[in-house]
Structure 1
Amino acid sequence: MRFALLTDLHANLEALQACLQHAQQQGADQYAFTGDLVGYGGDPAAVIDIVMAHAARGAIVVQGNHDRAVDVGPGPLMHGEAREAIAWTRQQIGSEQRAFLAGLPLTEQRGNMLFVHAGAADPAQWEYVNTVDDAERHLRATRSRLVFCGHMHTPALYRRADDGAMGSHVPRPGVKIALLPQHQHLIIPGAVGQPRDGNRSACYAIYDDVSRTLVYYRIDYDHGAAARRVIASGLPIVFAMRLIEGL
Protein backbone atom coordinates (compact mmCIF):
# COMPACT_ATOMS: atom_id res chain seq x y z
CA MET A 1 0.00 0.00 0.00
CA ARG A 2 0.97 3.60 -0.52
CA PHE A 3 0.10 5.55 2.64
CA ALA A 4 -0.44 9.29 2.32
CA LEU A 5 0.71 10.71 5.66
CA LEU A 6 -1.05 13.95 6.57
CA THR A 7 -0.82 15.73 9.89
CA ASP A 8 -1.56 19.09 11.49
CA LEU A 9 -4.25 20.08 9.01
CA HIS A 10 -5.30 22.90 11.34
CA ALA A 11 -8.55 23.72 9.55
CA ASN A 12 -6.70 24.81 6.39
CA LEU A 13 -9.05 23.64 3.66
CA GLU A 14 -7.01 24.94 0.72
CA ALA A 15 -3.85 23.15 1.87
CA LEU A 16 -5.69 19.91 2.60
CA GLN A 17 -7.40 19.82 -0.78
CA ALA A 18 -4.10 20.47 -2.58
CA CYS A 19 -2.31 17.68 -0.69
CA LEU A 20 -5.13 15.18 -1.23
CA GLN A 21 -5.22 15.94 -4.94
CA HIS A 22 -1.46 15.45 -5.18
CA ALA A 23 -1.59 12.22 -3.17
CA GLN A 24 -4.24 10.83 -5.50
CA GLN A 25 -2.02 11.67 -8.48
CA GLN A 26 0.83 9.78 -6.78
CA GLY A 27 -1.30 6.66 -6.47
CA ALA A 28 -1.97 6.77 -2.73
CA ASP A 29 -4.41 4.02 -1.77
CA GLN A 30 -4.47 4.52 2.01
CA TYR A 31 -4.56 7.66 4.13
CA ALA A 32 -3.35 8.40 7.65
CA PHE A 33 -4.23 11.62 9.45
CA THR A 34 -2.11 11.97 12.57
CA GLY A 35 -3.99 14.61 14.47
CA ASP A 36 -4.77 18.29 14.85
CA LEU A 37 -7.50 18.48 12.26
CA VAL A 38 -8.59 21.80 13.76
CA GLY A 39 -7.14 24.90 15.40
CA TYR A 40 -5.64 28.05 13.85
CA GLY A 41 -7.40 27.85 10.47
CA GLY A 42 -10.73 29.16 9.23
CA ASP A 43 -12.48 26.02 7.91
CA PRO A 44 -12.78 23.46 10.73
CA ALA A 45 -16.16 22.04 9.67
CA ALA A 46 -15.14 21.44 6.06
CA VAL A 47 -11.83 19.87 7.06
CA ILE A 48 -13.47 17.55 9.60
CA ASP A 49 -16.06 16.49 7.01
CA ILE A 50 -13.31 15.54 4.53
CA VAL A 51 -11.45 13.50 7.14
CA MET A 52 -14.68 11.85 8.31
CA ALA A 53 -15.35 10.77 4.72
CA HIS A 54 -11.87 9.27 4.46
CA ALA A 55 -12.30 7.53 7.82
CA ALA A 56 -15.53 5.96 6.56
CA ARG A 57 -13.45 4.47 3.74
CA GLY A 58 -10.86 3.04 6.12
CA ALA A 59 -8.41 5.88 6.69
CA ILE A 60 -6.37 5.97 9.88
CA VAL A 61 -7.17 8.99 12.07
CA VAL A 62 -5.74 9.74 15.52
CA GLN A 63 -6.43 12.57 17.91
CA GLY A 64 -4.24 15.64 18.29
CA ASN A 65 -4.07 18.05 21.19
CA HIS A 66 -6.19 20.67 19.41
CA ASP A 67 -8.81 18.03 18.57
CA ARG A 68 -8.93 17.00 22.21
CA ALA A 69 -9.14 20.59 23.37
CA VAL A 70 -12.33 21.05 21.37
CA ASP A 71 -13.87 18.25 23.44
CA VAL A 72 -12.48 18.77 26.95
CA GLY A 73 -11.00 22.26 26.87
CA PRO A 74 -7.46 23.55 26.33
CA GLY A 75 -4.59 22.14 28.35
CA PRO A 76 -2.56 24.36 30.70
CA LEU A 77 0.28 24.79 28.18
CA MET A 78 -1.91 26.00 25.33
CA HIS A 79 -1.27 29.69 24.69
CA GLY A 80 -3.98 32.34 24.67
CA GLU A 81 -4.35 32.70 20.90
CA ALA A 82 -4.69 28.93 20.48
CA ARG A 83 -7.33 28.94 23.22
CA GLU A 84 -9.20 31.62 21.31
CA ALA A 85 -9.13 29.44 18.19
CA ILE A 86 -10.47 26.46 20.15
CA ALA A 87 -13.37 28.51 21.55
CA TRP A 88 -14.18 29.77 18.05
CA THR A 89 -13.95 26.25 16.57
CA ARG A 90 -16.48 24.94 19.08
CA GLN A 91 -18.99 27.42 17.71
CA GLN A 92 -18.33 26.48 14.08
CA ILE A 93 -18.79 22.72 14.18
CA GLY A 94 -21.82 20.52 14.74
CA SER A 95 -22.45 17.77 17.25
CA GLU A 96 -21.51 14.99 14.81
CA GLN A 97 -18.20 16.65 13.99
CA ARG A 98 -17.43 17.27 17.64
CA ALA A 99 -18.27 13.66 18.52
CA PHE A 100 -15.93 12.50 15.77
CA LEU A 101 -13.03 14.48 17.26
CA ALA A 102 -13.86 13.28 20.78
CA GLY A 103 -13.95 9.65 19.70
CA LEU A 104 -10.59 9.57 17.97
CA PRO A 105 -7.95 7.30 19.53
CA LEU A 106 -4.59 8.63 20.69
CA THR A 107 -2.79 5.89 18.76
CA GLU A 108 -3.46 3.31 16.11
CA GLN A 109 -1.36 0.24 15.42
CA ARG A 110 -1.19 -1.35 11.96
CA GLY A 111 1.23 -4.26 11.95
CA ASN A 112 4.69 -2.85 12.65
CA MET A 113 3.46 0.73 12.21
CA LEU A 114 2.37 3.05 15.00
CA PHE A 115 0.41 6.21 14.24
CA VAL A 116 0.34 8.91 16.95
CA HIS A 117 0.08 12.68 17.03
CA ALA A 118 2.93 13.48 19.42
CA GLY A 119 5.50 11.35 21.26
CA ALA A 120 5.01 7.60 21.50
CA ALA A 121 6.30 7.35 25.08
CA ASP A 122 3.20 9.01 26.57
CA PRO A 123 0.83 10.18 23.81
CA ALA A 124 -1.51 12.03 26.17
CA GLN A 125 1.28 14.38 27.28
CA TRP A 126 1.68 15.86 23.77
CA GLU A 127 5.47 15.89 23.95
CA TYR A 128 7.55 17.34 21.13
CA VAL A 129 10.25 15.42 19.26
CA ASN A 130 12.79 18.09 18.38
CA THR A 131 16.12 16.32 18.84
CA VAL A 132 17.80 12.97 18.31
CA ASP A 133 17.64 12.37 22.08
CA ASP A 134 13.89 13.02 22.04
CA ALA A 135 13.46 10.59 19.15
CA GLU A 136 15.50 7.91 20.89
CA ARG A 137 13.35 8.04 24.02
CA HIS A 138 10.15 7.71 22.04
CA LEU A 139 11.45 4.93 19.81
CA ARG A 140 12.62 2.97 22.86
CA ALA A 141 9.08 3.22 24.22
CA THR A 142 7.61 1.08 21.43
CA ARG A 143 8.38 -2.15 19.58
CA SER A 144 6.94 -0.71 16.38
CA ARG A 145 9.51 -0.43 13.60
CA LEU A 146 7.84 2.64 12.12
CA VAL A 147 6.38 5.51 14.13
CA PHE A 148 4.44 8.16 12.21
CA CYS A 149 3.65 11.34 14.10
CA GLY A 150 3.00 15.05 13.74
CA HIS A 151 2.86 17.91 16.26
CA MET A 152 6.25 19.37 15.23
CA HIS A 153 5.11 21.26 12.09
CA THR A 154 8.53 20.64 10.49
CA PRO A 155 9.43 17.57 8.40
CA ALA A 156 12.01 15.29 10.01
CA LEU A 157 13.22 11.68 10.01
CA TYR A 158 15.04 9.77 12.76
CA ARG A 159 16.38 6.22 12.83
CA ARG A 160 17.52 3.81 15.52
CA ALA A 161 19.58 0.75 14.63
CA ASP A 162 19.21 -2.54 16.48
CA ASP A 163 22.45 -1.80 18.35
CA GLY A 164 20.86 1.41 19.63
CA ALA A 165 22.82 3.82 17.45
CA MET A 166 20.76 6.86 16.55
CA GLY A 167 20.79 9.01 13.46
CA SER A 168 18.74 11.65 11.71
CA HIS A 169 18.05 12.64 8.14
CA VAL A 170 16.96 15.97 6.72
CA PRO A 171 14.39 15.01 4.06
CA ARG A 172 14.36 16.75 0.70
CA PRO A 173 11.08 17.06 -1.21
CA GLY A 174 10.58 14.47 -3.92
CA VAL A 175 13.62 12.35 -2.96
CA LYS A 176 12.91 8.67 -2.31
CA ILE A 177 14.29 7.38 1.02
CA ALA A 178 14.79 3.66 1.68
CA LEU A 179 13.81 2.62 5.21
CA LEU A 180 15.99 -0.30 6.23
CA PRO A 181 14.13 -3.09 8.05
CA GLN A 182 16.87 -3.42 10.68
CA HIS A 183 16.19 0.13 11.83
CA GLN A 184 13.37 1.74 13.76
CA HIS A 185 12.22 4.97 12.17
CA LEU A 186 10.33 7.97 13.49
CA ILE A 187 8.72 9.85 10.60
CA ILE A 188 7.40 13.41 10.89
CA PRO A 189 5.80 14.46 7.57
CA GLY A 190 5.55 18.16 8.51
CA ALA A 191 2.34 20.18 8.65
CA VAL A 192 -0.31 20.28 5.96
CA GLY A 193 -2.05 23.31 7.41
CA GLN A 194 0.61 25.41 9.13
CA PRO A 195 4.28 24.73 8.21
CA ARG A 196 6.81 26.43 10.48
CA ASP A 197 10.16 25.83 8.77
CA GLY A 198 10.26 29.00 6.69
CA ASN A 199 8.60 27.35 3.69
CA ARG A 200 4.92 28.19 3.36
CA SER A 201 4.19 25.23 1.04
CA ALA A 202 2.11 22.48 2.65
CA CYS A 203 3.95 19.34 3.77
CA TYR A 204 2.98 15.70 3.58
CA ALA A 205 4.63 12.36 2.76
CA ILE A 206 3.89 9.01 1.15
CA TYR A 207 5.15 5.69 2.52
CA ASP A 208 5.16 2.60 0.28
CA ASP A 209 5.05 -0.49 2.49
CA VAL A 210 6.01 -2.82 -0.39
CA SER A 211 9.21 -1.06 -1.43
CA ARG A 212 9.72 0.34 2.11
CA THR A 213 10.35 3.78 0.68
CA LEU A 214 9.33 7.21 1.92
CA VAL A 215 8.96 10.43 -0.06
CA TYR A 216 8.32 13.86 1.42
CA TYR A 217 6.47 16.46 -0.64
CA ARG A 218 5.98 20.24 -0.52
CA ILE A 219 2.76 21.36 -2.17
CA ASP A 220 1.95 24.88 -3.31
CA TYR A 221 -1.59 26.02 -2.59
CA ASP A 222 -3.55 29.25 -2.34
CA HIS A 223 -2.15 30.35 1.01
CA GLY A 224 -3.52 33.83 0.40
CA ALA A 225 -7.07 32.51 0.31
CA ALA A 226 -6.45 30.50 3.48
CA ALA A 227 -5.01 33.56 5.22
CA ARG A 228 -7.94 35.73 4.15
CA ARG A 229 -10.32 33.13 5.53
CA VAL A 230 -8.56 33.32 8.90
CA ILE A 231 -8.84 37.11 8.95
CA ALA A 232 -12.48 37.09 7.85
CA SER A 233 -13.28 34.65 10.64
CA GLY A 234 -12.00 37.08 13.25
CA LEU A 235 -9.23 34.74 14.41
CA PRO A 236 -5.91 36.21 15.58
CA ILE A 237 -4.05 37.68 12.61
CA VAL A 238 -0.87 35.85 13.66
CA PHE A 239 -2.40 32.66 12.27
CA ALA A 240 -2.79 34.31 8.86
CA MET A 241 0.77 35.62 8.95
CA ARG A 242 2.12 32.15 9.68
CA LEU A 243 0.47 30.86 6.53
CA ILE A 244 2.04 33.65 4.49
CA GLU A 245 5.50 33.42 6.05
CA GLY A 246 5.70 29.69 6.83
CA LEU A 247 6.85 30.40 10.38
Structure 2
Amino acid sequence: MRLALLTDLHANREALDACLAHARVRGADRYAFTGDLVGYGADPEAVIDTVMDHVARGAVAVRGNHDQAVSVPSRSGMHAEAREVIDWTRARLKPGQLAFLDALPLTSELGNMMFVHASAHQPEKWEYVTGLEEAERSLRASRSRMVFSGHVHAPSLYRRADDGRMGSHTPRDGMKVRIAPQHQYLVIPGSVGQPRDGNCAACYAMFDDEKRELSYFRVPYDHGAAARRVIAEGLPIVFAMRLVEGI
Protein backbone atom coordinates (compact mmCIF):
# COMPACT_ATOMS: atom_id res chain seq x y z
CA MET A 1 0.00 0.00 0.00
CA ARG A 2 1.18 3.49 -0.87
CA LEU A 3 -0.61 5.78 1.55
CA ALA A 4 -0.72 9.51 0.76
CA LEU A 5 -0.85 11.60 3.94
CA LEU A 6 -2.47 15.02 3.68
CA THR A 7 -3.25 17.40 6.51
CA ASP A 8 -4.29 20.99 7.15
CA LEU A 9 -5.95 21.45 3.77
CA HIS A 10 -7.59 24.66 5.01
CA ALA A 11 -10.06 25.08 2.17
CA ASN A 12 -7.27 25.54 -0.39
CA ARG A 13 -8.59 23.83 -3.51
CA GLU A 14 -5.58 24.68 -5.68
CA ALA A 15 -3.10 23.16 -3.23
CA LEU A 16 -5.21 20.06 -2.62
CA ASP A 17 -5.69 19.37 -6.33
CA ALA A 18 -1.94 19.76 -6.91
CA CYS A 19 -1.02 17.35 -4.10
CA LEU A 20 -3.58 14.75 -5.15
CA ALA A 21 -2.33 14.87 -8.74
CA HIS A 22 1.27 14.54 -7.53
CA ALA A 23 0.34 11.55 -5.34
CA ARG A 24 -1.52 9.77 -8.15
CA VAL A 25 1.51 10.01 -10.43
CA ARG A 26 3.59 8.41 -7.67
CA GLY A 27 1.25 5.49 -7.29
CA ALA A 28 -0.80 6.37 -4.23
CA ASP A 29 -3.52 3.77 -3.75
CA ARG A 30 -4.93 4.98 -0.43
CA TYR A 31 -5.31 8.38 1.22
CA ALA A 32 -5.48 9.77 4.75
CA PHE A 33 -6.61 13.27 5.69
CA THR A 34 -5.57 14.21 9.22
CA GLY A 35 -7.80 17.17 9.88
CA ASP A 36 -8.45 20.85 9.31
CA LEU A 37 -10.18 20.47 5.98
CA VAL A 38 -11.56 23.99 6.42
CA GLY A 39 -10.58 27.37 7.82
CA TYR A 40 -8.43 30.19 6.40
CA GLY A 41 -9.13 29.39 2.72
CA ALA A 42 -11.83 30.32 0.22
CA ASP A 43 -13.02 26.94 -1.09
CA PRO A 44 -14.40 24.88 1.79
CA GLU A 45 -17.20 23.32 -0.28
CA ALA A 46 -14.89 21.98 -2.99
CA VAL A 47 -12.34 20.68 -0.48
CA ILE A 48 -14.94 18.91 1.67
CA ASP A 49 -16.57 17.36 -1.41
CA THR A 50 -13.17 16.06 -2.56
CA VAL A 51 -12.42 14.50 0.82
CA MET A 52 -15.93 13.06 1.06
CA ASP A 53 -15.44 11.39 -2.31
CA HIS A 54 -12.13 9.88 -1.18
CA VAL A 55 -13.64 8.67 2.11
CA ALA A 56 -16.44 6.99 0.17
CA ARG A 57 -13.69 5.08 -1.67
CA GLY A 58 -11.86 4.01 1.49
CA ALA A 59 -9.80 6.99 2.62
CA VAL A 60 -9.21 7.77 6.29
CA ALA A 61 -10.24 11.18 7.64
CA VAL A 62 -10.14 12.63 11.16
CA ARG A 63 -11.32 15.87 12.72
CA GLY A 64 -9.21 18.98 13.16
CA ASN A 65 -9.86 21.92 15.46
CA HIS A 66 -11.11 24.09 12.57
CA ASP A 67 -13.46 21.32 11.46
CA GLN A 68 -14.81 21.12 14.98
CA ALA A 69 -15.18 24.91 15.26
CA VAL A 70 -17.35 24.91 12.13
CA SER A 71 -19.54 21.96 13.12
CA VAL A 72 -19.74 22.77 16.86
CA PRO A 73 -19.89 26.58 17.18
CA SER A 74 -17.70 28.01 19.92
CA ARG A 75 -16.20 31.45 20.45
CA SER A 76 -13.14 30.33 22.39
CA GLY A 77 -9.66 29.22 21.39
CA MET A 78 -9.20 31.13 18.12
CA HIS A 79 -8.15 34.67 17.26
CA ALA A 80 -10.66 37.05 15.71
CA GLU A 81 -9.60 36.61 12.07
CA ALA A 82 -9.79 32.80 12.30
CA ARG A 83 -13.23 32.99 13.91
CA GLU A 84 -14.38 35.28 11.11
CA VAL A 85 -13.46 32.64 8.53
CA ILE A 86 -15.09 29.90 10.63
CA ASP A 87 -18.38 31.83 10.70
CA TRP A 88 -18.14 32.53 6.96
CA THR A 89 -17.43 28.86 6.27
CA ARG A 90 -20.34 27.62 8.35
CA ALA A 91 -22.72 29.86 6.42
CA ARG A 92 -21.42 28.49 3.09
CA LEU A 93 -21.71 24.79 3.76
CA LYS A 94 -24.64 22.55 2.94
CA PRO A 95 -26.23 20.38 5.65
CA GLY A 96 -24.54 17.25 4.29
CA GLN A 97 -21.12 18.89 4.38
CA LEU A 98 -21.66 20.10 7.95
CA ALA A 99 -22.82 16.62 8.94
CA PHE A 100 -19.67 15.13 7.43
CA LEU A 101 -17.45 17.43 9.50
CA ASP A 102 -19.48 16.72 12.63
CA ALA A 103 -19.14 12.95 12.12
CA LEU A 104 -15.36 12.96 11.73
CA PRO A 105 -13.65 11.04 14.56
CA LEU A 106 -10.85 12.51 16.64
CA THR A 107 -8.69 9.47 15.91
CA SER A 108 -8.67 6.50 13.57
CA GLU A 109 -6.57 3.36 13.32
CA LEU A 110 -5.61 1.19 10.39
CA GLY A 111 -3.47 -1.83 11.14
CA ASN A 112 -0.45 -0.59 13.06
CA MET A 113 -1.10 3.04 12.14
CA MET A 114 -2.90 5.77 14.05
CA PHE A 115 -4.27 9.01 12.61
CA VAL A 116 -4.92 12.12 14.69
CA HIS A 117 -4.92 15.84 13.96
CA ALA A 118 -2.88 17.06 16.93
CA SER A 119 -1.45 14.87 19.68
CA ALA A 120 -2.45 11.28 20.41
CA HIS A 121 -2.28 12.35 24.06
CA GLN A 122 -5.63 13.98 24.78
CA PRO A 123 -6.39 14.72 21.12
CA GLU A 124 -9.35 16.89 22.08
CA LYS A 125 -6.91 19.40 23.67
CA TRP A 126 -5.30 20.20 20.26
CA GLU A 127 -1.74 20.28 21.60
CA TYR A 128 0.91 21.42 19.12
CA VAL A 129 3.76 18.93 18.75
CA THR A 130 6.74 21.23 18.27
CA GLY A 131 9.50 19.36 20.07
CA LEU A 132 10.69 16.11 21.57
CA GLU A 133 8.72 16.44 24.80
CA GLU A 134 5.37 16.79 23.04
CA ALA A 135 6.29 14.13 20.49
CA GLU A 136 7.18 11.62 23.18
CA ARG A 137 3.93 12.35 24.99
CA SER A 138 1.99 11.70 21.79
CA LEU A 139 3.83 8.49 20.98
CA ARG A 140 3.51 7.09 24.50
CA ALA A 141 -0.25 7.60 24.27
CA SER A 142 -0.50 5.30 21.24
CA ARG A 143 0.15 1.59 20.82
CA SER A 144 0.65 2.06 17.06
CA ARG A 145 4.12 2.00 15.51
CA MET A 146 3.22 4.82 13.11
CA VAL A 147 1.34 7.91 14.28
CA PHE A 148 0.34 10.38 11.56
CA SER A 149 -0.78 13.84 12.58
CA GLY A 150 -0.89 17.48 11.53
CA HIS A 151 -1.80 20.76 13.26
CA VAL A 152 1.80 21.94 12.90
CA HIS A 153 2.10 23.64 9.52
CA ALA A 154 5.66 22.54 8.79
CA PRO A 155 6.96 19.03 8.04
CA SER A 156 8.69 17.13 10.83
CA LEU A 157 9.51 13.59 11.90
CA TYR A 158 10.08 12.10 15.35
CA ARG A 159 11.31 8.65 16.31
CA ARG A 160 11.08 6.81 19.61
CA ALA A 161 13.64 4.01 19.57
CA ASP A 162 13.01 0.61 21.11
CA ASP A 163 15.12 1.69 24.11
CA GLY A 164 12.96 4.80 24.62
CA ARG A 165 15.37 7.37 23.22
CA MET A 166 13.82 10.15 21.17
CA GLY A 167 15.14 11.68 17.97
CA SER A 168 13.89 14.13 15.36
CA HIS A 169 14.50 15.10 11.74
CA THR A 170 13.55 18.08 9.61
CA PRO A 171 12.45 16.49 6.33
CA ARG A 172 13.38 17.85 2.91
CA ASP A 173 11.52 17.64 -0.38
CA GLY A 174 11.96 14.17 -1.86
CA MET A 175 13.58 12.86 1.32
CA LYS A 176 13.07 9.11 1.85
CA VAL A 177 13.25 7.65 5.34
CA ARG A 178 13.68 3.95 5.99
CA ILE A 179 11.23 2.90 8.71
CA ALA A 180 12.66 0.41 11.20
CA PRO A 181 9.98 -1.99 12.49
CA GLN A 182 11.29 -1.92 16.08
CA HIS A 183 10.92 1.86 16.46
CA GLN A 184 7.87 4.11 16.80
CA TYR A 185 7.43 7.14 14.55
CA LEU A 186 5.43 10.35 14.63
CA VAL A 187 4.96 11.74 11.11
CA ILE A 188 3.86 15.32 10.49
CA PRO A 189 3.67 15.91 6.73
CA GLY A 190 3.27 19.70 6.92
CA SER A 191 0.30 21.64 5.62
CA VAL A 192 -1.26 21.16 2.21
CA GLY A 193 -3.19 24.41 2.33
CA GLN A 194 -1.14 26.84 4.41
CA PRO A 195 2.57 26.03 4.88
CA ARG A 196 4.32 28.20 7.48
CA ASP A 197 7.99 27.32 7.13
CA GLY A 198 8.95 30.03 4.63
CA ASN A 199 8.22 27.82 1.62
CA CYS A 200 4.85 28.42 -0.07
CA ALA A 201 4.87 25.03 -1.85
CA ALA A 202 2.23 22.62 -0.53
CA CYS A 203 3.30 19.72 1.69
CA TYR A 204 2.31 16.09 1.90
CA ALA A 205 3.96 12.72 2.60
CA MET A 206 3.63 9.14 1.42
CA PHE A 207 4.18 5.92 3.34
CA ASP A 208 4.91 2.68 1.48
CA ASP A 209 4.15 -0.05 3.99
CA GLU A 210 5.67 -2.83 1.86
CA LYS A 211 9.01 -1.08 1.37
CA ARG A 212 8.71 0.50 4.85
CA GLU A 213 9.68 3.79 3.31
CA LEU A 214 8.40 7.29 4.12
CA SER A 215 8.74 10.13 1.61
CA TYR A 216 8.11 13.85 2.07
CA PHE A 217 7.15 16.12 -0.83
CA ARG A 218 6.78 19.82 -1.61
CA VAL A 219 4.42 20.57 -4.46
CA PRO A 220 4.40 23.97 -6.20
CA TYR A 221 0.92 25.20 -7.05
CA ASP A 222 -0.79 28.43 -8.07
CA HIS A 223 -0.70 30.01 -4.62
CA GLY A 224 -1.37 33.39 -6.21
CA ALA A 225 -4.75 32.16 -7.46
CA ALA A 226 -5.59 30.76 -4.02
CA ALA A 227 -4.62 34.06 -2.40
CA ARG A 228 -6.73 36.06 -4.84
CA ARG A 229 -9.71 33.84 -4.02
CA VAL A 230 -9.28 34.66 -0.32
CA ILE A 231 -9.28 38.38 -1.12
CA ALA A 232 -12.21 38.10 -3.55
CA GLU A 233 -14.34 36.45 -0.87
CA GLY A 234 -13.63 39.31 1.54
CA LEU A 235 -11.73 37.15 4.03
CA PRO A 236 -8.93 38.63 6.15
CA ILE A 237 -6.01 39.56 3.89
CA VAL A 238 -3.53 38.04 6.35
CA PHE A 239 -4.58 34.59 5.13
CA ALA A 240 -3.86 35.55 1.53
CA MET A 241 -0.43 36.86 2.49
CA ARG A 242 0.41 33.63 4.30
CA LEU A 243 -0.15 31.69 1.08
CA VAL A 244 2.16 34.01 -0.84
CA GLU A 245 4.88 34.24 1.81
CA GLY A 246 4.64 30.74 3.29
CA ILE A 247 4.64 32.02 6.88
1:175 maps to: 175
Following TM superposition, by how much is the alpha carbon of 1:111 offset from its aligned partner in structure 2, in angstroms?
1.1
Residues 158-217 of structure 1: CA deviation (Å, up to 9, x unaligned): 000111100001111112110111110000000000000000000000000101100000
Residue in 2 that maps onto 1:28: 28
Aligned residue for 1:91, secondary structure, equals helix
Amino acid at match of 1:88: W
Structure-2 separation of matches of 1:151 and 1:81:
18
Code of the aligned partner of 1:157: L
Q: TM-score normalized by structure 2?
A: 0.99
For 2:169, give the aligned amino acid: H
Output the amino acid matched with 1:89. Answer: T
5+ residue gaps, structure 1: none
What amino acid is aligned across from residue 179 of structure 2 in structure 1? L
Q: Shift of the alpha carbon at 1:75?
A: 5.7
Aligned match of 1:73:
73
Q: Aligned-pair RMSD on alpha carbons?
A: 0.7
- For 2:64 and 2:235, how far apart are their aligned partners in 1? 20
In structure 2, the residue matched to 1:231 is 231
Distance in structure 2 (CA, Å) of the matches to 1:112 and 1:141: 14
2:41 & 2:83 partners in 1: Cα distance?
A: 13
Q: What pairs with 1:1-247 in structure 2 (closer than 5 Å)?
A: 1-74=1-74, 76-247=76-247
Distance across 1 between alignment mates of 2:233 and 2:46: 14
CA distance in 1, matches of 2:155, 2:75: 25
Distance 1:23 1:70 in 2: 28
Q: Is the 8 A contact 1:66 1:74 kept in 2?
A: no
Paired residue type of 2:245: E
**How far 1:30 sits from its partner (Å)?**
0.2
Report if the CA contact (8 A) 1:32-1:60 is conserved.
yes
- State how far apart, in whole Å, the 1-side matches of 2:221 and 2:75 are: 31
Post-superposition offset of 1:76: 2.0
Describe the superposition over 1:110-143 as per-residue Cα deviations: whole angstroms up to 9, x where unpaired.
1110000000001111110000111011111111
> For 2:175 and 2:137, how far apart are their aligned partners in 1?
27
For structure 2, the residue ranges without an aligned partner over 5 or more in a row are: none
* Greater than 6 Å deviation, 4+ residue runs: none
Distance 1:239 1:175 in 2: 29
Q: Report the secondary structure of 1:243's partner residue.
A: helix
Contact 1:74 1:86 in 2 (8 A): no
Which whole-Å deviations, capped at 9, do the CAs of 1:94-113 have from their partners, x for residues lacking one?
00000000000000011110
State the one-letter code of the partner of 1:38: V
Question: Hey, what's the Cα distance between the residues in 2 that align with 1:12 and 1:213?
Answer: 28
Shift of 1:74: 3.6
Distance in 2 of aligned mates of 1:205 and 1:30: 12
State the percentage of identical aligned residues: 67
- AA matched with 1:80: A
- Secondary structure class of the residue paired with 1:181: coil
